[in-house]
Structure 1
């Protein structure tokens, strides 16, 4: 197959501003097309979406309103950003959390097509609490950690059933903005309904871990082992069980959790089969491995030949391009991109319908080699 590639950006912006606006301008045309095609315009009204957010996650309302303003204020943008009763979506992923007397880890593989991930690691303080995580749907999170050391990650629950609720990525954002411990987070997950089945694994700085199955329309089931793949334990059958090898991956994770005494080095297991997926052409490949350390409030993003180390106390803006296909490889770009990349100019170019060569906006002399970047990179 032809190689696919994905550019990963690490961006710091305490409050939503020009950097977030640039990402919106870049990504909204594709998201808007998806939203329309999947029936989003037939969903709840803007007023209903805002009322639901105010009822279930009131602390996020000021941030939400700021984002809607930055996005231009349209009804469609407001409904999309609320993620209240959104169109269906799915994914893969494997998760595990482990702790001993002096080490805590939450590790996840993110499995999907390279064309369907935003590739954005964002450090923010939108409600006053430091949060760092991988962005989904432009402000939600697929995984992340906050300044209290609480970490969280999601995996698709395996079935295309829906209920009245929020997109799971907004719920994860809410957890990290408002909670300090796993116990706090479980109270939120019990209270805030998810629109589809999802599995969530958590760990905090005390070493407490948990695995939770979110039910469509509200309600949770706490699972004994802090592992999760793409099925749930309610007797239902996942839609794509054989394709995702969900039971095989879950059994492998449980063996690791039962046999390993030290969580250090756990991430290395995720870079090997059966956890690492390579079927990118079929939309099911591992895009990154995220390793969270609640004690240091840190994150390491792993790929086959490189890694990023970041923390809430020591965060560096940077970029890298990862290619997937016959062989996964990275192209390291420059560090400290806050000064070198004009994100607003890039966003304006995307908004005009012309995908830019983003290297045009870099200060000369930072080692950008045009022939290194594959043509499909986004």
Structure 2
């Protein structure tokens, strides 16, 4: 199997007002600005997505304005709403329970920001940041942890990229029940699955522009929902196989680092980029790669970088 290196970084950005977040985001802007839709580049489109953001995430509007001003790039305000971005999909397998959340994130290495961010926009949050301030997974100081997987269907509608939804929930919610309640009225642009964990509860929910929020039978997910999976989709993603495997393995880090949960590079270049194990009750997360790990916590967050080798040696 072809192996390659990827650098992951850990940064502290505070509340976004002191220039640390902006310095990081400006460096990434040339790589991500093309994800902004043509509609989002127009004044009317920017106004529309700003209004959508204000209607559904009012608590984050001051943060949105602060970050937009700090980034200071054309189209930044519309981009940061995550409501005018081109659709994208990612793999992933995840499971929650007993105050812990375990997940594999699968994508092409060049399409993942690879930034572990400690922030305090509204409250302390640590997570794997992507698209400047969205989160692929994360936890807050109340012990709530959330991660996402793509729902596996091509449906598309008006709404938010799920990364900013994860950010919003972690910034404003204390419990799984509170977060699920908010999700019922949040529009998402493409089908997504979220697994949510707090000290006493774990649940997976299916979201999409064409379905109401649907609670999964257990707190784990791969890349399908409650609808049938085609043979073609299963051959490409092995989503049912991975879901069966994680149900058998449970929250076992070692199993996540082995096939079929740990995925080798596919025809599109996607592969498992990292494993994250959130113990949100303790305020700790450990990121794993074959033969290497990196722990961060609210009590001991260490900025820095790690160049890791992707893929297994056997």
TM tier, shorter chain?
over 0.9
Flag the 1:304–1:2 CA change in 2: closer, same or farther, 3 A.
closer
Show the counterpart of 1:19: 20
CA RMSD of aligned residues (A): 2.2
Checking the alignment, whether the CA contact within 8 Å between 2:155 and 2:208 is kept in structure 1 is: no
- Partner in structure 2 of residue 293 of structure 1: 279
CA distance in 1, matches of 2:261, 2:44: 38
Q: 1:170 aligns with which of 158, 164, 176?
A: 164
Provide the residue aligned with 1:360 in structure 2: none
1:325 and 1:312 map into 2 onto residues whose CA distance is 29
Partner SS for 1:249: helix
**TM-aligned CA deviation for residue 219 of structure 1:** 2.8
CA contact (8 A) 1:24 1:71 kept: yes
The match for 1:242 is: 235
- Determine the C-alpha separation between the residues in 2 that align with 1:241 and 1:181: 34
The answer as to whether partners of 2:91 and 2:222 remain within 8 angstroms in 1 is: yes
Instruction: Report the alpha carbon displacement of residue 216 of structure 1 after superposing the two structures with TM.
Output: 1.8
Query: What's the CA shift string for 1:74-106, capped at 9, x where partnerless?
Result: 2x221111111421100100000122xxxx321
Task: For residue 14 of structure 2, give the secondary structure of its aligned residue in structure 1.
Answer: coil
Counterparts in 2 of 1:274 and 1:83: CA distance versus 1, 3 Å: same
Judge which range, 243-252 or 209-218, deviates more. Answer: 209-218
Highest Rg: 1 or 2? 1
Q: Which residue of the partner structure matches residue 215 of structure 2? A: 222
1:304 to 290, 310, 314: 290
The separation in 2 between residues aligned to 1:42 and 1:278, in whole angstroms, is 40
Report the equivalent of 1:357.
none
Gaps of 5+ in 1: 258-262, 329-378
310 and 60 in structure 1: CA distance in 2 versus 1, 3 angstrom threshold: same
Is 1:203 matched with 2:197? yes
Match of 1:45 in 2: 45
Unaligned runs of 5+ in 2: none
Distance of 2:80 and 2:31 partners within structure 1: 14
Which one of 290, 297, 300 corresponds to residue 314 of structure 1? 300
2:120 equivalent among 117, 125, 129 = 125
TM-score by length of 2: 0.93
2: distance between equivalents of 1:27 and 1:86?
Answer: 16
Q: Give me the TM-score of the superposition, normalised by structure 1.
A: 0.78
Could you say if the C-alpha distance between residues 19 and 237 of structure 1 is closer, same or farther in structure 2, counting changes exceeding 3 Å? farther
SS in structure 2 opposite 1:289?
A: strand
2-structure distance, mates of 1:311, 1:141: 16
Segment drifting more, 267-276 vs 20-29:
20-29
* 1:278 match: secondary structure: coil
Distance 1:71 1:218, change over 3 A: farther
Residue aligning to 2:248: 255
Q: Establish whether residue 276 from structure 1 lines up as the match of residue 268 from structure 2.
A: no
Say whether the 8 Å CA contact 2:150–2:191 is kept in structure 1: yes
Number of aligned residues: 313
